[in-house]
Amino acid sequence: MGDRLSGKVAVVTGASSGIGAATALALAQEGAAVCLAARRTDRLREVEEEILAKGGRALAVPTDVTDQEEVEGMVAASREALGPTDILVNNAGVMLLSPLEQVRVEDWDRMVDVNLKGVLYGIAAVLPGMIERGSGHIVNVGSVAGRRPFPAGSVYSATKFAVRALTAGLQLELSAHHGIRVTDVQPGVVATELTEHIPDQAVRDAFAERTAEWRPLEAEDVAQAVLYAVTAPDRVNVNEVLIRPTDQPN
């Protein structure tokens, strides 16, 4: 175990698998006490048990980030058990790709609810305490899609563009005035369960075919990018980290 985050408390959403789980493990490895939030209780408990088995501190709190009351309750439970939140990693997200002409409004709503409103609810739950203490770090896991849209990904990209704009605005409002650091981590293609959410089989197949020859990022690669940002000296605010597979051409 390292100690670069000793005494810090981190909240990680979407922590039951993929980037969220890898990030929670990386933060715990550096001494942070970690609150794990996600909907899948069994998977969440597995990550909690892994951290505890390695001598870390962890608390699993099943949470739907689209429910503001649940997010507020999760942060309150973390505060009671572990202490005030020093680091928030807004990682929970879904990628429900389909052509706009299919007008899958329910999927559009779901992406807005999870990818954008879920981020806002996390911020709302921790921000008053961070402002009161004059410190904190908010990490939003965006996407390379927040820099350019792509066919069948227009709404997903729109949510990630919004996260990028929100993160930039947070930095302008909070960093110099309140000592709160803000980071947008923007991964390219990562080997996670995210593509399993794609509801359109043709789009899913096309995505798999297009990326078949690439060596995708691993979740741990993105976790290390998060760790780099949150372990930087207090004088350093890493605003953006764009991380793509070497093989990804765009």
Catalytic residues: 156
The amino acid that residue 205 corresponds to is D
DSSP secondary structure, 46-102, as one string: HHHHHHHHTT-EEEEEE--TT-HHHHHHHHHHHHHHT-S-SEEEE---------GGG
Structure tokens at 16: 């039951």
| Residue whose C-alpha is closest to residue 91's, from 1, 160, 158 | 160
Q: Is 5 helix (H, G, I), strand (E, B) or coil?
A: coil
| Residue whose C-alpha is closest to residue 90's, from 152, 198, 202, 170 | 170
